[in-house]
């Protein structure tokens, strides 16, 4: 006998139905039906976690941190980052790609202000400041 899918367990903990979860996701801009959620819970279709926007919406709807969502869905997160680093990563997940590039530029600036040899910007970010 298969064990119950973690998504159904989480819904049960929150006391919400598949329809209510679909409403939460739809209100955030993800057009999802009760049938799609049923397919996720039965393992017929994977959760759409490919984009930061989807990860943020699903985590918010399930009242989880994004890292918790990923671990529950089977992604291994074995690097032990500091609380501050995890917070920055979580906040960055909610930003546009342009804003994330800006954050990379700012962090790189802070990292290299005393030692320019440590500069390591991605090419797209390097182009943005030149």
Q: Report which of residues 115 and 30 the model is more confident about.
A: 30
Domains of the chain and any CATH numbers: 6-72 (1.10.260.40), 95-129 (no CATH)
pLDDT in tens, 56-79: 999 999 999 888 898 889 887 666
- Return the closest-CA partner of residue 104 out of 83, 87, 88, 80: 88
pLDDT in tens, 74-105: 887 666 778 888 888 888 888 888 998 898 88
Q: Three-state secondary structure along 24-86?
A: HHHHCCCCCCHHHHHHHHCCCCCCCCCCHHHHHHHHHHCCCCHHHHHHHCCCCCCCCCCHHHH
Whether residue 117 is predicted with pLDDT greater than 90 in this model: the reply is no
**What is the pLDDT at residue 130?**
47
Do 120 and 108 touch, CB atoms closer than 8 A? yes
Do 19 and 47 touch, CB atoms closer than 8 A? no
pTM of the predicted structure, to 2 decimals: 0.60
Buried b / exposed e across 41-76, counting CB within 10 Å, b at 16+? beeeeebbeeebebbbbbbbbbebebbebbebeeee
Whether residue 119 is predicted with pLDDT greater than 80 in this model: the reply is no
Please identify which residue in the block is written with the tokens 């969502």.
Answer: 69
**What is the pLDDT at residue 121?**
55
Q: What six digits make up the tokens of 83?
A: 């609380």
Q: What six digits make up the tokens of 6?
A: 């973690």
pLDDT in tens, 3-54: 568 999 999 999 999 999 999 999 999 999 999 999 999 999 999 999 999 9
**C-alpha torsion 62→65→71→72, nearest 10:** -20
């Amino acid at each position: 006998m298969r064990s119950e899918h973690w998504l159904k367990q989480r819904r049960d903990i929150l006391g919400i139905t598949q329809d209510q979860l679909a409403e939460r996701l739809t209100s955030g801009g993800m057009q999802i039906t009760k049938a799609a959620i049923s397919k996720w819970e039965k393992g017929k279709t994977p959760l759409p976690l490919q984009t930061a926007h989807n990860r943020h919406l699903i985590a918010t709807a399930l009242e989880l941190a994004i890292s918790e969502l990923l671990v529950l869905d089977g992604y291994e997160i074995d690097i032990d980052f500091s609380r501050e680093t995890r917070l920055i990563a979580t906040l960055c997940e909610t930003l546009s790609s342009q804003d994330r590039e800006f954050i990379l530029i700012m962090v790189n600036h802070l990292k290299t202000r005393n030692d320019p040899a440590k500069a390591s910007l991605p090419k797209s970010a390097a182009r943005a400041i030149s």
